[in-house]
Amino acid sequence: MTASDIKLRIFRQIDALEKDKLDELYGVLLNYINSQQDISDWDILTEEQKTGIYDAIQEIEMGKGVPNHVVLEHLLRYS
């Protein structure tokens, strides 16, 4: 299969998507393209940010985390 054949197949599949799926695919595509950059997101974090992430992971491992759905319910209730 040539590059042109692949592009045409991809275009046809994308063209057939509904709006919500198209938005989702766009986000996935942007994430993929942005992840190809040479700079690692981790490398641009400050030491304070890295420490905060390590602390959060440790708290989750100790069972101190709050499930995402609980946080979202709380935010929706009070927004």
Please write the tens of the pLDDT for every residue from 21-65.
Answer: 999 999 888 888 877 665 677 888 899 999 999 999 999 889 898
Query: How many domains does the structure of the chain reveal?
Result: 1
The parent domain of residue 71 ranges over 3-77
25 close to 17: Cβ distance less than 8 angstroms: yes
Q: What share of the chain is helix, strand, coil (3-state, %, to 5)?
A: 75, 0, 25
**pLDDT for the residue numbered 31:** 83
CA angle 35, 38, 44 (to 5 degrees): 85
Q: What is the pTM of this model?
A: 0.42
CA-based Rg of the chain, rounded to a whole angstrom?
20
14 close to 25: Cβ distance less than 8 angstroms: yes
